[in-house]
Amino acid sequence: MVQDKSLGRRLFIFANYSILFLVSLICILPFANLLAVSFSGSAAVAAREVVFWPVDFTTKAYEFALKGDQFLQSVWVSTQRVVLGTIINLILMVLTAYPLSKTKEKVMGRGIYMGFFVLTMLFNGGLIPSYLIVVKTGLIDSIWSLILPGALPVYSMIILMNFIRSLPEEIEESATIDGAGPMQILIRILLPLLKPALATVGLFSIVGHWNSWFDGIIYMNNPDNYPLQSYLQTLLLNFEKMMLRSGTDYTKLLAQMNVRTGRAAQLFLGTVPILIVYPFLQKYFTKGLVLGSVKG
């Protein structure tokens, strides 16, 4: 009887699992340390006693991060940005990827359009022209200044375009014979088939909008309009100054924490929403990414 797995095959599988296990540890351990530091007492953190388990457990760092209205306001701004930005990204990606998925014979000037989009991936006008455009269009200090400049992510659009090109052409041909127009084919037939790809590029958009902080600082004059990551960035940079405050509601909290615990709590709070969303989209993620990279 022939063995199902040879010795070489078993060694190969063992090596693969070992490497994946090590890579997983490299990804997980920093988060474990961050979480442990955020729940540890300031003295233990200062003495570098905290590794992967909290020492002198306390939630003072989270009380500090959540204290006041600005944190909740920044969460609301980030939520608006993620929802509106992701919807706009997906709509524009679908409307752009669908016609570009056709051959040059079916879409006149397809090569020119593709060249234009690829060019924007390699070059951009720079910070000052982008800022002037936002100012001149009246978007400054508005939620739309965080969404419209990046309304069409070209890299994600190309993934979606290649996914559409990988679908059998007979699907559209049969629908055309039945009298369906391009929009009917796109909405009623292709969109249900695009779920894996849409989940993939949608996750890219969600992560991109949630983690972006620089544009919030550049385009927002009022700190109340900062998205969460911009607020956390300014908080991290000015944390030492806040630690020196006196006569405020923060005094008692600051006496029981230090810079490292406060920063760890804020950084972990910034990653929690993505950690919650990702498991729901993970089953589509790998499939959509692989299928979207089959054809050029």
Distance CA 4, CA 145 (A): 59
Name the residue type at position 96. Answer: T
Please state which of the ranges 12-26, 64-78, 110-124, 207-221 shows the lowest mean pLDDT: 64-78
Mean per-residue pLDDT for 263-291?
Answer: 71
Confidence of residue 246 (pLDDT cuts 50, 70, 90): very low
| 81 backbone dihedrals φ, ψ, rounded to 5° | -65, -45
Q: Which residue has the tokens 């997983």?
A: 24
| 32 backbone dihedrals φ, ψ, rounded to 5° | -65, -40
Q: Which of 142-146, 164-168, 258-262 has the highest mean pLDDT?
A: 142-146
126 and 133 Cβ atoms separated by less than 8 Å: no
Distance CA 228, CA 211 (A): 9
For the chain, percent of residues with pLDDT exceeding 90: 18
Distance CA 29, CA 50 (A): 13
Please state which of the ranges 204-208, 222-226, 243-247 shows the lowest mean pLDDT: 243-247
b/e map of 106-138 (b: 16 or more CB within 10 Å)? eeeebeeebeebeeeeeeeeeeeebbeebeeee
CA distances from 81 to 50, 206, 290 (A): 36, 9, 28
- CB atoms under 10 Å from CB of 11, counted, come to 11
Structure pTM? 0.77
278 and 196 Cβ atoms separated by less than 8 Å: no
CA distances from 153 to 23, 44, 88, 201 (A): 29, 45, 10, 9
Name the residue type at position 69. Answer: D
Provide the pLDDT for residue 295: 45
Provide the pLDDT for residue 62: 81
Provide the pLDDT for residue 292: 47
Provide the pLDDT for residue 53: 86
Provide the pLDDT for residue 294: 45
The closest of 176, 179, 186, 200 to 291, measured between CA atoms, is 200
